[in-house]
Structure 1
Amino acid sequence: MSDITLSAAVRQNLLTLQTTADLLSDVQGKLATGLKVNSALDNPNSFFTASGLNSRANDLNNLLDDMGQSLQTLKAADKGIQSITKLVDSAKAKANQALQTQSQFERAQFAKQYNDLLEQIEDLAKDSSYKGKNLLAGGTNDLTTIFNEDATSKLTIQAVDYTDASLSTGLNLSDIAEAQGGASSFDIRGGSETIALQAGTGQPLQSSSLLSASDAIDVDDVLALFDGPATASSIGTGFTVGAGTTVQDLVNYIDGFAGVNASFDDATGQLVINSNQTIDIRNDGSSGSTGNTADLAAITASAANSSGALLTNSASFKVGDTLTLTDGNNFELGSIEIEADTTIEDLINFLDDFNGVTASFEEASGRISLLSDTDLTLASDNNDFNDNTVAATNTNNDVTIAALTDSGFATDGQINRVIDRLNTALGNLRSQASEFGTNLSTIEIRQDYTRSLINTLQEGAGLLTLADTNEEGANLLALQTRQQLAATSLSFASQADQTVLSLF
């Protein structure tokens, strides 16, 4: 090609076309990329400045994603606290319900429900995680959110531990004791003897009659109770018959022993004696009257062997007795009045009707067994109740069951202490929710700021590198026109050279 000789005009037009083509290529590149600075060759200062701005914008954009994830972690914890607060409110409601009743059984049920709610609180706290980070689980779950590219601006949120409700640094709500019941039993024993008190004429005595009018008892005779046959020991002090002693005085004397009851029927002149143990009632014949030294009554007591047996067969029960069932708070569960036809089965049914109480009768031993979830007392207004031995004085007129463990709601004081702790826990939850809310707002504000800053950086980079499409479009049109004109000029220059050919 170096052997070809071009005229100055053609060479000039060709150079113009080459220059225009280069400019046209450059403008087309700007329009295609939208950038007026595509490399350091275009404008080193603008290129590296824009690169720095874009790099910072990219770094902040990555941090913006982390802020979004921190927000979600905080929201999960906040939702958890809201739900835990509702559960603590429910636990407080259970405590208040327990405070409104004196029934130990109902309080024991509320105590169990309270513990169940605490377990749900712990489970909910464990479930409040987001992507493995749980602000309600304490430990290594602290959340750090970085706000700038060199990590000099950041926010660290301390995790709290609600997964164990008993922690003093958390809710400080411990499980309360749940009731564990106890057991007791008492025997239904009895024997009966009837003594016919009559005068020597065969006429029955009245309760107001002089006792010495009896054909077997005289003034100065001493009557006494013994715990068995002739070799047995006497029980209490003897009863000396005086000149004015009446039949009723004797009835009162016998009836005054624990485990023994006596009644007198004026119509028949019969003295009926019931005893829980085998006893003898003897006359020592101190008066010296012939035939007065004898057993007035020998009573052999045995265990009841049928649930259909009458309760009044035992000296522990008399018609009109009232048996009352109460718990450890002296809350009356119910009462039953003994009637002439009241059986052991009626008593079992009465006891077995109450929640947390189980009663059964063992016919082989004549024993009533009681199981109770709470402290329990079965008491009678009859002093002979539950005296399984005959004694001069009554020492035991009730059956008690002491629960192995009373519930944590057994007393008002215990319940009020739990309510105080619940109120403190609610205050802590609200304070923690407020703290999380403040942190949430802080991250949202920094997120909005970072988003705006990214836009500012990208906009600044664009000012340095973005092409003006309107201007470049006009340049493209001008260069295309210039290219066409240069091509036409090159054609004219070539035609001028071609006139030389006409000479040949």
Structure 2
Amino acid sequence: MTSVNTNAAALTALRTLQSTNQQLESTQGRISTGYKIGEAKDNAAYWAISTTLKSDNKSLSTVKDALGLGAATVDTAYQGLNKAKDVLDEIKSKLVAATQAGVDRSIIQTEISSLQEQLKSIASSSTFSGENWLSVNSASSDYDSSKEVVSSFSRNSANGVTIGTVSVDISKVALFDSNTTTGNRGILDSAVGLTSSDGRALAIGGTASTTGNTNLNGLAGAVGSATGANAIQGVTAFNLTGSFAALNAANNFNDAGDGVKFTFATEVGSSFIDITKADATIANGVSVTGEVNSVQELANIFNKKVTTQGVEAFVNGAGNLGLRRTDAGATKTVAVTSVATIDTGSGTAHTSTAGFATTPADTAAKAGVDATKAALTSGNFSAAVTLDADDQISFTIKTGTNSAKAVIIDKTLVNDALGINTGVIADGSKYLTVLQAALRKAGVDATVSAASAAFKFESTATGGTASLSISQTSAVAGAATISVTNLNISDASLSALGAKNADDIAKVIGSYISAVNTAINKITTSASSLGAVSSRIELQKTFVNTLMDTIDKGVGNLIDADMSEESTKLQALQVKQQLGVQALSIANQSAQSVLSLFRS
């Protein structure tokens, strides 16, 4: 039908041309912006994702800048520590030169004073962007020992944002701390006790504090020597089978009621010992939360609980647990009849007797076996002992052919052994715990136990060749202290310490060298710590750069236009547009033919 009201062909051509123009406009927009998703209307979900990722990438760029700032701060402190170590090396060499007879110590002291000032200069100038980690004041209201370097930015599935940091404890790296109200000073201005080469406090008077309460109080009688032949004879030895390794490999004493029961008999009757979690927790006076980590610990626990006179646990040369008599005589016997697990708690015992025969194969009572130890008994403990930070008790102990070792008791050891912070040894049982801890720390092949209100030191070896000697028992109340920045080798300074002859002067300078060496070791440790932090920051910077590139790539995959594809579409749409215009023109001309019908 031909109509002058409606040109259907023209309408169709128009709609097609409009659609082509719309597609052409969209393609031209992608080509001009480079994005296939430039606005939320293009694809709301992908646009939201890409917008969030681009925002996070800006945050990561800030993290990268923060890492660079942190790296520079850490490197500044590290370089300061490194230079300070070089200066300390010079001071140490000057002190070594000062030990030479005939040298002019006043000239050397002038050089040392100059180096001490250089240390202060290094610390004060090791500043980056207002941050100085080497020269601090911990008394300041704005002081914070924990410095944080922003290292990461992350977002979880719930859109929660987390900022990660790398922490540096500057109290461990500070060379100087101007806070004089506490004992927490820097590496170079903190006072250290003057000690001899074996770690013993240097007892050259002059600066002893008035608060030192230290005395030997029970150790004075320990001076002397003994051999196995002088110790008790005829003790009875009974070895259980096994090495205890299997019991240690189990879950130890998990519940309060878990334990092991040893039943044994002497000539006067049968006895038993239950060892439970509570007993294991106080093994050797050190909390091990129910664990028993060696045969010796099990023997120690056994001996804490045993009430039968003349019976003790021991570890034989093969590393096995055994029982023996400590009193002499062929009629003194001991026999183990059983070893069993016990449980009074959950109903399921977590311990094991693996490694021991439940009924030992050898149950016959043994007597008269020579397994003697060298033993020395000290004096009685009479009153509490308080160790301040500058107090020290020490003695030298030698066993068998081993080298003599210095056993040193100070406030730190007391606090660690007793789980306190006061340095107080309140009674004999506490003193015994401290002595046991001191022997372990010194690596001495000897034990100490209570013996009739005294302390009995014994060699671990048995037999007539066993030997034990204790000497050089001393207590220093308020040992002289020094810091690297105020050590002085002038005659007046040495005299004030009580060093007035050549031997005492050599001892003091040797102690100064030890103090400087201690500072060097601390600086080396601190520099290593900063080096590890610096390495971590560099790794994090590399990771952040890679992460930013990865996010950029991911965002590009979501929203960037494929220009090759869009150029191809553009050419096709341009041709289609031209065809649409031509088609619309033809459709519009078709209506003109109607006029010919009305011509005469």
TM-score by length of 2: 0.41
Q: Could you say which structure has the larger radius of gyration?
A: 1
